[in-house]
Amino acid sequence: MKSLLVLLLMVAVGCEVDTRSSGDAASAAPNSDAQGTNVLSSAEEAAAQAEWDAIRWHTSSGPNCKGAVKVMTLSARVTDGGNKVSFSWDHYPWSGMGVGHFFVWNGTGWSGGKFDWIRQGGQGTKLMENVREGYNGLHIPASGTRVAFAWTDADGRQRSNLAYTTWP
C-alpha cells in the first residue's frame, strides 16, 4: 500500500519512473552504449565509411587505406602553433606499429595520407615535422583550414575514425 501511495504521489507531481532494466544498453541514452560511449547509427556508420572511402590518398610513402574497417575511436588536437598534434584514443587494437595519417579538406573532399608511424600502444603526441617537410606530398594548410587525423594498422585494413580539427 505504501509503494502505491508513493507512486501516485510521483505521478501527481510529474515525476517519471525509470522502467529500464539495468542491462538495457539501447535505452541508456540516445546514441550511446551502456558505458556512455558514443555509437553511430547504421546510416551514420555508412556515411562515415563513404567519407573514408572517398579520400584522395597520397601513396608515394604510404598505403591507400580505402575500405579499411573502423575498429577504434581517435581524437586529435593541433598544438604548439601547428608543430605538434595531441591524440587520445579509446583503445589501441593492433599488436604492432600503426600508421598516422593527416588529411586536408579542399572544399569538396579529403586529401592526404601517411605522415608518420605510431608506436605500438599508441602515442599521445606526434611532431608535424614530416608534414612541414613535404613527406608523402603533404603540406601545412592555411590557418583556419579543416584538417583530420586517423590511425590505421600497418596494412591499412583497420582504422580509426577521422578525427576532425582546425589548423591553427
Torsion of Cα atoms, 137 then 143 then 145 then 146, to 10°: 100
Contacts of 144 (CB under 8 A, 6+ apart): 166, 167
Residues 44, 39: Cα–Cα separation, whole Å: 9
- In the block, cell 590505421 appears at 152
pLDDT at 131 over 80: yes
Predicted local distance difference test score (pLDDT) of residue 39:
63
Q: Which residues pair with 105 in a beta bridge?
A: 110
Scored b (16 or more CB within 10 A) or e, 6-23 reads eeeeeeeeeeeeeeeeee
Q: What is the pTM of this model?
A: 0.76
Single-letter residue type at 88: S
How far apart CA 33 and CA 92 sit, in angstroms, is 19
Domains in the chain and their CATH numbers? 42-166 (2.60.40)
Q: Taking 90 as the threshold, does the pLDDT of residue 99 lie above it?
A: yes
Residues 46-72: tens digit of each pLDDT = 999 999 999 999 999 989 999 999 999
Q: Got the DSSP string for 41-72?
A: -HHHHHHHHHHHHT-EE--SSS---TTPEEEE
